[in-house]
Amino acid sequence: MNTEQMTDRQKLNNAGFSNYSSIEANRGTDPQEISEAFYWEMLEVLPPQKWTRNHDSQSFYVMEALTGDLHEWIVKMGDRYFALIAPRSLNHNQIMEKVNKAL
C-alpha cells in the first residue's frame, strides 16, 4: 500500500470506519472522499460485489463484511471517489443518494 492509500485508510479510520459498535448502531457511516489510487486498490483487492456502472458513476462493495451485513462501499462519481459503510442490500441508486446527501 503506497503512502496516499495509507493516508486514505487512516482518514477512514478517523472517520469511524474502524469503530464497529458505532457502525452497527448507525447502520453504517457517512461517505468520505478517497483518492483514485485507493479506489483502484479496493476494486482489485477482492472481486467487487454489485459493481454497477453508468454514464457518470460507479459503485461496488467489498465482499468481506465488516460487521453483520455492513460492507465497505466504494464509489466513483465523475472524477471524485468516496467510501462509506452501508448494508449490502442497498442498490447503486441508494448508495449514490447517500453520497449526494453528504456533499
Residue 102 within any structural domain of the chain: no
Full domain range(s) for residue 44: 3-97
pLDDT of residue 28: 94
Identify the band that residue 85 occupies on the pLDDT scale cut at 50, 70 and 90. very high
pLDDT at 16 over 90: no
Residues contacting residue 3 through CB under 8 Å, at least 6 positions apart: none
Measured CA to CA, the distance from residue 86 to residue 60 in angstroms comes to: 11
* Identity at 92, one-letter amino acid code: H
Number of structural domains the chain divides into: 1
The predicted model scores a pTM of 0.89
Measured CA to CA, the distance from residue 1 to residue 23 in angstroms comes to: 25
Contact 30, 82 (CB under 8 A): no
Residue 51 within any structural domain of the chain: yes
Contact 57, 98 (CB under 8 A): no
Identify the band that residue 5 occupies on the pLDDT scale cut at 50, 70 and 90. low
Residue 91 within any structural domain of the chain: yes
pLDDT at 19 over 90: no
